[in-house]
Amino acid sequence: MSRIAYVDGQYVPHRLAGVRIEDRGYQFGDGVYEVLAVCGAHLVDEALHLARLARSLAELRIAAPMSEAALKLVVREVIRRNGVVDGIVYVQVTRGVAPREHAFPRTAEPVLVVTARRKRTTDPRFGTQGVAVITIPDIRWQRCDIKSVALIANVLGKQRAREAGAFEAWQVDRDGFVTEGTSTNAWVVTNDGTVVTRQADHAILNGVTRRAVIDIIGAEGCRLVERPFSVAEAKAAREAFLTSTTLDLLPVVRIDDDVISNGEPGLLTLRLRERYLAHAAAK
């Protein structure tokens, strides 16, 4: 089955899909996006993703390309045409096409692109044996709460992780506190069993999976504190893990050259992972 994309009002073969050369997303990174998980042919936490998309658009003063109801129809049609049962849907909105000038154009119309693909195979050992992360300086702009398509700092950080033989890079602010990963939220479990993750401020993206896990932590009766934590605290933690829409919840067993606890995924982390997978599979 050939892949189908939705581009600015039309469903087209993926290999032929394209945007105009003066699309501001291409020239300025002037746009936002969302990635929604598809699990068992249903969308996981769709309402939260669409609410965050609307917030990102409002923060950048980009008009919505269509109503939420219409967008839901487009998303489902792209899923159907691509035969995706387990996978992801990518939704992107840019400010539109206009002659290149930094200031907002007066007449440009927002451009919507929606694509879908089947889930890529992830090494199952990541969930049972854990992954390694490195720490790097956070060089991003000061509005990381907006899910902007301008991701070059994240790209450079992810590449540093790959070159270091690590799965992810946790970014560290000027005060020595972890903000988040290049494409994930960061968590630790203290020695007294408290789950800690940075509060949802301008320094991080308030991940949808992050929000789901917070709800699960509450339902499990665990103690949660939203605050910054240092690299030193993370390395001394009882457990650590990361979350994202595309990766679910994965244990972290090494940070830089330091092994976390005994080097194996923690029991609480594994329990939260199990609960999250059940949440994602629920219809």
Q: What is the pLDDT of residues 71-98, one digit of tens each?
A: 999 999 999 999 999 999 999 999 999 9
- Concatenate the DSSP letters of all residues of the chain into one string: ---EEEETTEEEEGGG----TTBHHHHH--EEEEEEEEETTEETTHHHHHHHHHHHHHHHT---SS-HHHHHHHHHHHHHHHT-SSEEEEEEEE--B-SS-SSPPSS---EEEEEEEEPPP--THHHHH-EEEEEEE--S-S-TTS-BS--HHHHHHHHHHHHTT-SEEEEE-TTSBEEEESSSEEEEE-TTS-EEE--SSTTS---HHHHHHHHHHHHTT--EEE---BHHHHHT-SEEEEEETTTEEEEEEEETTEEPTTSS--HHHHHHHHHHHHHHH--
Number of domains in the chain: 2
266 shares a domain with 170: yes
Residue recorded with tokens 């789950």: 195
Q: Give the pLDDT band of residue 261 (cuts 50, 70, 90).
A: very high
Domain identity same for 155 and 229: yes
Q: Are residues 156 and 260 in the same domain?
A: yes
Q: What is the pLDDT of residue 121?
A: 80
One domain, residues 112 and 134:
no
The residue from 118, 134, 155 where one domain ends is 118
Same domain, 51 and 166: no
Q: End of a domain among 58, 92, 118?
A: 118
Whether residues 130 and 113 fall in one domain: no
Instruction: Say if residue 261 is in the same domain as residue 132.
Output: yes
Pair (153, 269) in one structural domain: yes
Write down the pLDDT at residue 80: 97
Average model confidence (pLDDT) across the chain? 97
Model confidence, pTM: 0.95
Q: Do 89 and 14 sit in the same domain of this protein?
A: yes
**147 is known as an active-site residue:** yes
Helix axes 208-219, 46-60, angle to 10 degrees: 130
165 with 262, same domain: the answer is yes
Among residues 147, 158, 235, 283, the one annotated as catalytic is 147
Residues 49 and 178 in one domain: no
**Full residue range of the structural domain in which residue 45 is found:** 4-118
pLDDT at 1: 63
Q: Is the pLDDT of residue 254 over 70?
A: yes
pLDDT over 90 (residue 2): no
Q: Are residues 83 and 113 in the same domain?
A: yes
Q: Which residue has the higher pLDDT, 11 or 282?
A: 11
Asked if residue 283 has pLDDT above 80, the reply is: no
Taking the C-alpha atoms of residue 74 and residue 90, their distance in angstroms, rounded to an integer, is: 12
Question: What pLDDT, on the 0 to 100 scale, is given for residue 228?
Answer: 98
pLDDT digits (tens, 9 = 90+) for 192-212: 999 999 999 999 999 999 999
CATH number of 66's domain: 3.30.470.10
